[in-house]
């Protein structure tokens, strides 16, 4: 299982004004990520509205991302296969594997929640054994899944029963747990960081790959931060992390996750809006948003079309 090195974007799902998926935009989206040196695409996740898509839609999204990946072989594809029904997860996992994804990811069941690490590991194992040759990542995002099982506990239960477990996409702020996972079994499992706004802290703890929504539109910012950290220039790295924080603050100011598509529109890629129940930005608010973006003075850090 080859590890990732660099930024893995969580792509938005392109939508038209009626909320239908614009499948024709996916090939160009892949090329855009490639141009900005993004090494992976984590599709059908939170940013990609995977929980708001139908089974058919998610599968079609997989088919198009993997088709482009087979042609270009530059941006690897990780598909989030679901979380509430292991039957549905297996169906998605097998379909994704048949289409050539580089890995799949699993989310904790978020309605009937596991009572502990053992139940969570057993749930994941049922899906993983259906695609034994495919690397499997666990997507830890308790703020949305409501599953606050420590990942160190999860790895202790999962390691013996999931041979193809590759690592964890860690979207939480428990640095103690994260570091313990990083050291578990002499670093056997890849720990992908999932909080863009404190990625520098994760670099200090040893991460070499990260999954994030802001990597779609500000990949150069984070690559410069990684370079500064690797060169020992911590003042510059901290300055760039603050630039990331200032950028991300606008997400909260203008309503949350849907603001990410406003950033994409700002750099020239209109991907439509999010599906309900996500609140989208009104056009008059977009004008204020654009003015705020200009005030950040970060044009050099945006991804280029």
Per-residue model confidence as pLDDT tens digits over 78-119: 999 988 999 999 999 999 999 999 999 999 999 999 999 999
Average pLDDT, the chain: 97
CA distance 47 to 45: 6
pLDDT of residue 90: 98
Per-residue model confidence as pLDDT tens digits over 216-263: 999 999 999 999 999 999 999 999 999 999 999 999 999 999 999 999
Q: Which of 58, 169, 261, 265 is catalytic?
A: 169
Dihedrals φ, ψ of 140, to 5°?
Answer: -95, 105
- The number of beta carbons lying within 10 Å of the beta carbon of residue 250 is 17
Q: Which of 139, 170, 223, 254 is catalytic?
A: 139
Contact 131, 104 (CB under 8 A): yes
CA distance 119 to 117: 6
217 given a catalytic annotation: no
pLDDT of residue 143: 95
- DSSP state for residue 300 in the 8-state scheme: G
Show me where the domains of the chain are located. 6-234
Per-residue model confidence as pLDDT tens digits over 264-286: 999 999 999 999 999 999 889 99
139 given a catalytic annotation: yes
Q: Which fold has domain 6-234?
A: TIM Barrel (3.20.20)
Contact 95, 134 (CB under 8 A): no
């Amino acid at each position: 299982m080859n590890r990732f090195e660099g930024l893995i974007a969580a792509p938005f799902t392109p939508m038209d004004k009626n909320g239908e998926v614009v499948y024709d935009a996916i090939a160009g989206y892949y090329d855009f990520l490639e141009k900005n040196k993004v090494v992976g695409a984590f599709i059908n996740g939170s940013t990609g509205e995977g929980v708001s898509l139908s089974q058919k839609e998610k599968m079609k999204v997989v088919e198009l991302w993997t088709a482009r990946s087979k042609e270009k072989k530059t941006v690897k594809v990780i598909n989030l296969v679901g979380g509430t029904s292991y039957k549905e997860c297996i169906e998605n996992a097998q379909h994704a594997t048949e289409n050539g994804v580089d890995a799949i990811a699993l989310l904790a069941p978020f309605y009937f929640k596991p009572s502990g690490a053992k139940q969570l590991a057993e749930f994941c194992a049922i899906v993983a054994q259906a695609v034994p040759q495919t690397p499997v990542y666990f997507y830890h995002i308790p703020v949305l899944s409501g599953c606050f099982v420590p990942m160190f506990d999860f790895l202790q239960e999962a390691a013996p029963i999931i041979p193809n477990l590759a690592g964890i996409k860690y979207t939480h702020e428990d640095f103690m747990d994260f570091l313990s996972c990083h050291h578990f079994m002499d670093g056997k499992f890849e720990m992908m960081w999932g909080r863009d706004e404190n990625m520098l802290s994760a670099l200090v703890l040893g991460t070499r790959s990260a999954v994030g929504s802001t990597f779609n539109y500000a990949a150069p910012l984070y690559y410069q931060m990684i370079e500064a950290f690797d060169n020992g220039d911590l003042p510059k790295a901290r300055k760039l992390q603050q630039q990331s924080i200032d950028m991300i603050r606008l997400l909260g100011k203008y309503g949350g996750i849907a603001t990410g598509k406003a950033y994409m529109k700002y750099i020239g890629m209109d991907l439509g809006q999010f599906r309900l129940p996500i609140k989208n930005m009104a056009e008059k608010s977009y004008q204020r948003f654009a003015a705020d973006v200009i005030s950040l003075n970060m044009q050099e850090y945006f991804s280029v079309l």
